[in-house]
């Protein structure tokens, strides 16, 4: 196991950001819910306690026994974490007279202290709290203050235990990164060796160790980043004992099936293309409810995949492109979120297949997956491909699905995406696509009345797809795309642009 920082999660909205900041320092870290705090092991070099929506004054609030860490490795409490350490040691945490959300500036700093050594006076920090530490326990010293908050940061004398009221993990804390570096590198002594190259080398060894010398692995490939990077890693570890399966569900974009297969062959991957369009169309026939469509697609994926996997004799493993946010969400302190959309998942294979699961990307965030892909030589067009949903165009055709509608949408979508590429706008938006609406509208073309379909263009900016804003594409660009679609795609006489953010809308329309 690499050296690591343990992050105990108390349910803060910023916990993943703490992990992001530590990973950016090339130090490995893991988030664990406070209810499952692991024992101290040699690889754990320090512990960060996250913030929380709870108040330490509430008898029901999280209050785990931290004695297994305190005094033995450095501990940094952030916001709730800081309040909790002070509260447990006999200090006093009270509701603040004014609740503080937003910017503040440091007005006092003890620069002899390693945590805040190179911060500047007047540095902006981000506050988000309703409680405040009024009285520090014996032995705790203040190392930073703001005009509103005396105890903006503290240190327990003689021990590597620290607390900060503000949030160094958010970018609004202008020297937050420096503070995190001081803790992780100087105080915990981590050596910043967690790099993509290091990850590739150690993961290849680990995969060779886990997967027996004659065992075969099956992997569903989609042409997307996650499954492609997983494939390259596995290929490096076990060569042609990796069997990739790429399913044409009849819902891919124009020329995508051939293009993706071609790219994979070029990478030396052992990939089988399976044309199952008719099966998907049959399963979708007559369905127009979004959830029913998603479920039918998920079911058909499993049937096709199951059948194809059985053709690979001696397969022992199923590989999946699961990434870290998927893992964290399933063990989150906040519990499972309500279902907005049922995401299809080829991973849901029937138990009777008896395959063991291998997930080489489970520890990585999306941008780290891209860095690893880059290290492994994944071509730019796959590496920076916009995300594309597994159910494909079926969730961009509102209402029931027919091959004719898929064909219409494929042509409109190709014009939009090609135009984005040609104008260099493709890399500036996070995801783009076209929606085929279940309505017709009146138009006039060459003096004749038309009564044809409407499409909506969708382009968003985002960091992780959880929230998104509509992309402010230039009017001239939109005008050009609209013209091209209406002139070149027979059956569409009107183009609109979707200007909804997420939330309250979602990126896909179904
Ligand atoms: N057409 C397909 N054929 C085979 N497997 C598929 C197909 N579409 C999706 N999958 C499987 O479903 C998984 C989930 O898809 P998802 O879109 O979340 O990830 P991805 O396609 O690998 O990457 P990205 O998020 O960049 O699109 C994929 O990793 C892949 O294993
Ligand atoms: O693999 C996938 N299977 C699915 O069922 C699925 N549904 C939505 N998406 C993608 O997820 C992101 C967020 O989409 P929404 O804002 O529409 O929920 C966007 O990037 C969507 O394209 C899916 N990806
Ligand atoms: N961001 C936080 O951790 C807040 C801690 C606590 N709920 C407070 O309001 O002070
Ligand atoms: Mg995908």
Q: Which helix (H) or strand (E) holds 92?
A: strand 92-105
Q: Determine the pLDDT at residue 336.
A: 45
Q: How many whole angstroms separate alpha carbon 67 and alpha carbon 46?
A: 13
Q: How many whole angstroms separate alpha carbon 383 and alpha carbon 372?
A: 10
Tell how strand 124-135 and strand 92-105 pair up. antiparallel
Per-chain mean pLDDT for the chain: 93
Q: How far is the CA of 343 from the centre of ligand 2 (A)?
A: 7
Tokens of 11: 């349910």
Tokens of 430: 């996070």
> In degrees rounded to 5, what are phi and psi of residue 22?
-70, -40
* Region 196-383: CATH code: 3.40.50.620
Q: Determine the pLDDT at residue 332.
A: 64
Q: How many whole angstroms separate alpha carbon 324 and alpha carbon 321?
A: 10
Q: Considering 29, 54, 129, 169, which one is annotated as catalytic?
A: 169
pLDDT of 412 higher than 90: yes
Across 159-187, average pLDDT: 96
Check if CATH label 3.40.50.1400 holds for domain 402-497: no
**Correct CATH for 4-187 of 3.40.50.620, 3.30.460.10, 3.40.50.880, 3.10.180.10:** 3.40.50.880
Q: How many whole angstroms separate alpha carbon 89 and alpha carbon 140?
A: 9
pLDDT of 337 higher than 50: no
Number of helices followed by number of strands (H, E) in the chain: 13, 19
Tell how strand 108-109 and strand 124-135 pair up. unpaired
The residue whose C-alpha atom lies closest to atom 6 belonging to ligand 1 is 222
Q: Determine the pLDDT at residue 360.
A: 96
Ligand 2 close to Cβ of residue 389 (< 6 A)? yes
What ipTM is given for this predicted complex?
0.90
250 dihedral zone (left: phi>0; alpha: psi -120 to 50; beta): left
Domain boundary assignment for the chain: 4-187, 196-383, 402-497
Peptide bond preceding 191: is omega within 30 degrees of 0, i.e. cis?
A: no
- The pLDDT tens digits of the residues spanning 250-307 come to 999 999 999 999 999 999 999 999 999 999 999 999 999 999 999 999 899 989 988 9
Across 105-122, average pLDDT: 97
Q: Considering 129, 155, 167, 235, which one is annotated as catalytic?
A: 167
Q: How far is the CA of 224 from the centre of ligand 1 (A)?
A: 6
Q: Determine the pLDDT at residue 40.
A: 97
Query: Is the distance from CB of 436 to CB of 405 less than 8 angstroms?
Result: yes
In a 13 Å sphere around the CA of 290, the CA atoms on its Cβ side amount to 14
Q: Which atom of ligand 1 is nearest to the CA of 343?
A: 18
Q: How many whole angstroms separate alpha carbon 368 and alpha carbon 28?
A: 12
- The pLDDT tens digits of the residues spanning 383-396 come to 999 999 999 999 99
Its pTM stands at 0.84
- The pLDDT tens digits of the residues spanning 17-47 come to 999 999 999 999 999 999 999 999 999 999 9
Domains 4-187 and 196-383 share a fold: yes
Calculate ∠ Cα 135-140-145, nearest 5°. 70
Q: How far is the CA of 312 from the centre of ligand 4 (A)?
A: 24
Ligand 1 close to Cβ of residue 300 (< 6 A)? no
Ligand 2 close to Cβ of residue 341 (< 6 A)? yes
């Amino acid at each position: 196991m690499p050296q690591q920082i343990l992050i105990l999660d108390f349910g803060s909205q910023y916990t993943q950001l703490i992990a992001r900041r530590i990973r950016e320092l090339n130090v490995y870290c893991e988030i664990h819910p406070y209810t499952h705090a692991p024992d101290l092991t040699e690889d754990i070099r320090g512990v960060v306690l996250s913030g929380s929506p709870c108040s330490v004054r509430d008898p029901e609030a999280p209050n785990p026994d931290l004695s297994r860490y305190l005094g033995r490795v450095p501990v940094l409490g952030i916001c709730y974490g800081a309040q909790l350490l002070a509260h447990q040691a006999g200090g006093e945490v009270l509701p603040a007279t004014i609740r503080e959300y937003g910017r503040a500036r440091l007005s006092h700093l003890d620069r002899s202290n390693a945590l805040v050594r190179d911060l500047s006076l007047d540095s902006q920090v981000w506050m988000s709290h309703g409680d405040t530490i009024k009285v520090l326990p014996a032995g705790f010293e203040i190392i930073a203050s703001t005009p509103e908050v005396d105890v903006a940061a503290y240190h327990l004398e003689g021990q590597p235990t620290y607390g900060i009221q503000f949030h160094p993990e958010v970018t609004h804390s202008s020297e937050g990164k420096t503070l995190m570096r001081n803790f992780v590198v100087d105080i915990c002594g981590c050596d910043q060796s967690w790099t993509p190259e290091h990850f590739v080398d150690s993961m290849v060894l680990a995969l060779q160790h886990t997967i027996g010398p004659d065992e075969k692995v099956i992997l569903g490939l989609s042409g997307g980043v996650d499954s492609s990077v997983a494939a390259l890693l596995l290929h490096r570890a076990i060569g042609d004992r990796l069997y990739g399966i790429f399913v044409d569900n009849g819902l891919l974009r124009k020329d995508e099936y051939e293009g993706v297969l071609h790219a994979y062959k070029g990478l030396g991957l052992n990939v089988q293309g399976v044309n199952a369009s008719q099966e998907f169309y049959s399963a979708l026939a007559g369905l127009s409810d979004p959830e029913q469509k998603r479920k039918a697609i998920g079911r058909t994926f499993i049937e096709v995949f199951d059948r194809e996997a059985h053709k690979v004799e001696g397969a022992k493993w199923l590989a999946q492109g699961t990434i870290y946010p998927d893992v964290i969400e399933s063990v989150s302190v906040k519990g499972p979120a309500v279902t907005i959309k049922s995401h299809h998942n080829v991973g849901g294979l029937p138990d009777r297949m008896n395959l063991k699961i291998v997930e080489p990307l489970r520890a990585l965030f999306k941008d780290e997956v891209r860095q690893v892909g880059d290290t492994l030589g994944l071509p730019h067009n796959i590496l920076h491909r916009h995300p594309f949903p597994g159910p494909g165009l079926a969730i961009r055709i509102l209402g029931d699905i027919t091959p004719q509608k898929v064909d219409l949408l494929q042509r409109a979508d190709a014009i939009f995406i090609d135009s984005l590429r040609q104008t260099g706008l493709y890399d500036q938006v996070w995801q783009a696509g076209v929606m085929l609406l279940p309505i017709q509208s009146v138009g006039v073309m060459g003096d004749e009345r038309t009564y044809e379909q409407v499409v909506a263009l969708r382009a968003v900016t985002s960091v992780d797809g959880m929230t998104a804003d509509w992309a402010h594409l230039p009017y001239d660009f939109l005008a050009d795309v609209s013209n091209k679609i209406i002139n070149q795609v027979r059956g569409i006489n009107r183009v609109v642009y979707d200007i909804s953010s997420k939330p309250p809308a979602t990126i896909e329309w179904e």
